[in-house]
A = this chain, B = another copy of it.
Amino acid sequence: MKLTILGCYSATPRTLGNTTSQVLEIGNHMFLIDCGEGTQVHLRKHKVKFNRIKRIFISHLHGDHFFGLVGLISTFRLLTREADLHVYGPKGIKEVVTLQMKLADSWTNYNLYFHELTATESELIFEDEAVEVYTIPLEHRIYTNGYLFKEKEGDRKLDIDAAKAANIDVAYYRKLKQGFDVENEDGVLIDNKTVTFPAEKPKSYAFCSDTVYKEDIVPIIKDVDVLYHESTFLENHAHLAPKTKHSTAKEAATIAKLANAGTLILGHYSSRYPDLNLFKEEAHTVFDNVELAEDGKSFDF
A267 on the B face (CB < 8 A):
no
A78 to B270, CA, bound (A): 12
Instruction: With A63-B100, A74-B63, A92-B103 as known contacts, state yes or no: A15 contacts B37, CB within 8 Å.
Output: no
Q: Which of A58-79 contact B (CB under 8 A)?
A: 61-63, 67-68, 70-71, 74-75, 78-79
- Closest Cβ of chain B: how far from A4's Cβ, in Å? 16
Contact B12–A78 (Cβ < 8 Å): yes
Asked if A14 and B41 make an inter-chain contact with CB atoms under 8 angstroms apart, the answer reads yes
Say yes or no for A141: interface residue by CB 8 A criterion. yes
Could you say which interface size class chain A belongs to?
35 or more
* A13 CB–B CB distance under 8 Å: yes
A66 to chain B, nearest CB (A): 9
Whether the pair A71, B78 counts as a contact (CB closer than 8 A) is: no
- Closest Cβ of chain B: how far from A75's Cβ, in Å? 4
Q: Are B14 and A44 in contact (CB under 8 A)?
A: yes
Contact A44-B15, Cβ < 8 Å, known A62-B104, A104-B142, A105-B141 = yes
Which chain B residue shows the least CB distance to A38? B38
Q: Quick one: which of B38, B63, B74, B104 contacts A70, CB cutoff 8 A?
A: B63
A165 within 8 A of B: no
CB atoms of B67 and A63 under 8 A apart: no
Chain B residues closer than 8 Å to A100, beta-carbon distance: 61, 63, 67, 96
* A91 nearest in chain B by CB position: B103
Q: A38-B37, A38-B38 are in contact. Are A13 and B103 (CB under 8 A)?
A: no
Decide: B38 and A41 in contact? CB cutoff 8 A. Answer: yes
A71 contacts B75, C-beta separation under 8 Å: no
Cβ–Cβ contact A104 & B61, under 8 A: yes
Q: A106 near B: Cβ within 8 Å? A: yes
Q: How far is the CA of A78 from the CA of B13 in the complex (A)?
A: 12
State whether B15 touches A45 (Cβ < 8 A): yes
A40: chain B residues at CB < 8 Å are 12-13, 37
Complex alpha-carbon distance, A142 and B68, angstroms: 22
Best-buried of A13, A67, A75, A95 by chain B (most CB within 10 Å)? A67
Interface residues, chain A, with chain B CB atoms under 8 Å away: 11-15, 37-38, 40-41, 44-45, 61-63, 67-68, 70-71, 74-75, 78-79, 90, 92-93, 95-96, 99-100, 103-106, 141-142
Task: Other than A15-B44, A96-B103, give 4 A-B pairs with Cβ distance below 8 A.
Answer: A12-B78, A14-B41, A37-B68, A67-B71
